[in-house]
Amino acid sequence: MFEGLFHALRRHGVPVALDEWLTLQTALSRNLAGSSLAGFYLTARSLVAKSEQHYDAYDLAFAEYFSGLVATPEEVGDHVMEWLKDTPEALKLSPEDRARIDAMLENLDIDELRRRFEERLRNQTEAHQGGSKHIGTGGTSGMGHSGSAPGGIRIGGESMWRSAVQVAGDRRFREYRADRQLGVREFGSALRRLRRLSDRVDGPATELDLDASIDATADAGGQLNLVFRRPRHNTVRLVLLLDVGGSMDDHIHLVDRLFSAVNQASRFRELTVRYFHNCVYDRIYEDADMSLLRSEPTMALLNRMTPDHMCVVVGDGCMAPSELALPGGCIDWSIHNEEPGWIWLERVRQRFAHSAWLNPVPEHWWTSVHGARTLNAIRELFPMYELSLQGLDEAIDHLLARPA
């Protein structure tokens, strides 16, 4: 049953396993989803979508199989959604307007509407407001949102007159995608995994092991069986080096979220945050203002670190080649670096057995972005990961791995 949905889920990247699919069939045979499509949607999602990061792909696959939401290209969520971010003042419909809309909906050609919509997606290059042809807001084109055309395709926005016949790109769980930039919540969830490096404290087992208790209770046929473990002692020491200013200004909100996640809970036994601009040189700064009065020699910082410390660098790696390769190449004319920035980055890399570089620039731009030459040089020195949910997971996997 619903074999087509199974294949749609696989096509969209939802890693549904055969045993999970058979469990869904069992649930349907017992009428656990009721007789509604909404009930089936929620039941199936709870059984086949293992993580929130799969919800968006699940929605796309479900919509493709059951229709009702056009499986439009990814561009709907990128530049097209940017065109439609401004919502004009709501139009007022008279009873005569409402009757005209109802009459036109009776003679609507869905296939022709979709053909015109796909043609606009291919050919339109800029935002339009208030027109009668292009995808936009307001107006009478029938493609976009907040307009007055009956029987169109709503993209984004909110349903106002209930006159759209299809909705494109209405993706409620898009923010949970693995390749999305991170918010505070996602940062926190990922950083929490670093607690695996914490040691168990010698002494009595006083902390409830919830997962083991569930397994033991299930093995006992439902009879409650609590399992306890020794509590962890937080041993995670993290050095966080943040690139600020210049091209990193484009990512300032992402850095703010990182700070919020890092400081919301005591995830680390010791947290040291320092700043630099473009490249690390002989001084490192205690705040984002990068005042010399609140700085220290980089070697002093490195000498305080122990083999237990981990280092995470956050930066785009994009700079003039001279900043990386030449003495005196620092972009700040008032600072003369006696040694090239590359030498200092090597020292940072060699000081920490566990280190990673998080780059807010999307990975598919790394070979073409302005500054790609220095970015890719740094990739040869540091393990570099995109600053997305998936990239942060990969970086933490790397940090958790013990050196050979």
pLDDT digits (tens, 9 = 90+) for 332-374: 767 788 999 999 999 999 999 899 999 999 999 999 888 899 9
- 217 and 252 in a common domain: no
**Which is more confident, 231 or 402?**
231
Structure tokens at 266: 């005591």
**34 belongs to a structural domain:** yes
Q: Tell me what pLDDT residue 169 has.
A: 43
**127 belongs to a structural domain:** yes
- 159 and 35 in a common domain: no
CATH number at residue 261: 3.40.50
**Which is more confident, 283 or 169?**
283
- 78 and 57 in a common domain: no
Encode burial over 120-129: b for 16+ CB neighbours within 10 A, e otherwise.
bbeebeebbb
> Which of 125, 156, 174 delimits the end of a domain?
174
- 371 and 252 in a common domain: yes
Is the confidence at residue 177, as pLDDT, over 50? no
- 243 and 229 in a common domain: no
Q: Tell me what pLDDT residue 166 has.
A: 37
Give residues with Cβ within 8 angstroms of 396, minimum separation 6: 190, 191, 193, 194
Start-to-end CA span in the chain (Å): 49
- 81 and 130 in a common domain: yes
User: pLDDT tier at 380 (50, 70, 90 boundaries)?
Assistant: very high
For residue range 92-136, list pLDDT tens digits in order.
Answer: 556 666 566 555 545 555 566 666 666 666 666 566 565 555 665
387, 343 Cβ separation under 8 angstroms? no
- 165 and 224 in a common domain: no
Average pLDDT over residues 143-150: 52
- 378 and 306 in a common domain: yes
**14 belongs to a structural domain:** yes
What is the overall mean pLDDT for the chain?
Answer: 75
> Which of 174, 191, 218 delimits the end of a domain?
174
Closest Cα to residue 91, out of 45, 156, 157?
157
- 210 and 261 in a common domain: no
- H/E stretch holding 144 reads strand 143-145
- 39 and 140 in a common domain: no
H helical segments located in 249-382: 252-264, 298-304, 321-325, 341-351, 372-379
Report the range of poorest mean pLDDT among 35-39, 46-50, 87-91.
87-91
pTM for this one? 0.53
Is the confidence at residue 161, as pLDDT, over 50? no
Domain count, the chain: 4
User: What are phi and psi for residue 120, nearest 5 degrees?
Assistant: -65, -40
- 89 and 126 in a common domain: yes
**Which is more confident, 132 or 192?**
192
> Which of 15, 37, 66 delimits the end of a domain?
66
For residue range 223-267, list pLDDT tens digits in order.
Answer: 999 998 877 666 778 899 999 888 888 887 776 776 677 666 556
User: pLDDT tier at 400 (50, 70, 90 boundaries)?
Assistant: confident
- 169 and 134 in a common domain: yes
Average pLDDT over residues 6-31: 88
Average pLDDT over residues 191-196: 65
Give residues with Cβ within 8 angstroms of 264, minimum separation 6: 184, 188
Task: Give residue 57's domain range.
Answer: 3-66
**248 belongs to a structural domain:** yes
Q: In 10 A of CB 68, how many CB atoms?
A: 13
**182 belongs to a structural domain:** no
Is the confidence at residue 172, as pLDDT, over 50? no
Is the confidence at residue 144, as pLDDT, over 60? no
**Which is more confident, 172 or 246?**
246
